Structure 1
Amino acid sequence: VSVTGLAIAIGAGGAVVSAPIVLGAVGFTSAGIAVGSYVASMMSAAAIANGGGVSAVAVLQSAGKNK
């Protein structure tokens, strides 16, 4: 196993483990988007920009619910 391959594997593993923590920290919770969070403002801006359509924020919200 090369050093580069090992570094990539460790980085990918760290990303998988830390993703739910990071999503929770910015406002994606199991109950939905936290009021007054960074994500709440993102969701508002995305809803206005997309005319209420599904956005990347909605997809991330769904991922946050699965943590």
Structure 2
Amino acid sequence: MWGEMLGAAIGGVVAVAAAPVVLSAVGFTGSGIAAASIAAKMMSAAAVANGGGVAAGSLVATLQSIGVLGLSTSTNIILGSVGAAIGAAGASEVS
């Protein structure tokens, strides 16, 4: 039981902490989309598909918004909960 609780705690913290790091590494930064990044390629593909612009509410627009503004409290709660569930499940498989 303690292993599952520890796994849940670690999983929750890692999920919440990793999301901004991963988004930044992919190219969705606080100052905009980084040149020559995966995000730039996604933005280019979205613009070509939409006739030159990126649609509001699209995946690229949403991820860029998160890159600039950060994740909302409710999103962090969801990420933490999912991470905790995965961490607990992983810990129960190990023990």
Unpaired segments ≥5 residues, structure 1: none
- Separation in 1, partners of 2:29, 2:59: 16
Q: Which has the higher helix share?
A: 2
Alignment partner of 1:25 is 2:25? yes
Note closer, same or farther for the CA distance 1:5–1:36 as it changes in structure 2 (3 Å cut): same
RMSD across aligned positions (CA): 2.0
Q: How many residues align?
A: 67
The structure that has the greater radius of gyration is: 2
- Separation in 2, partners of 1:3, 1:50: 49
Q: Which residue of 2 aligns with 1:12?
A: 12
- Separation in 2, partners of 1:48, 1:2: 51
Give the secondary structure class of the aligned counterpart of 1:58.
Answer: helix
TM-score normalized by the length of structure 2: 0.58
Q: Which residue of 2 aligns with 1:58?
A: 61
- Give per-residue Cα distances to partners, 1:23-67, cap 9 Å, x unaligned: 111101111101111110111111222344221111000001124
Give the secondary structure class of the aligned counterpart of 1:53.
Answer: coil
Identical residues among aligned pairs (%): 54
Note closer, same or farther for the CA distance 1:5–1:48 as it changes in structure 2 (3 Å cut): farther
Runs of 4+, deviation exceeding 6 Å: none
Greater shift, 14-23 or 2-11, is seen at: 2-11
Unpaired segments ≥5 residues, structure 2: 71-95
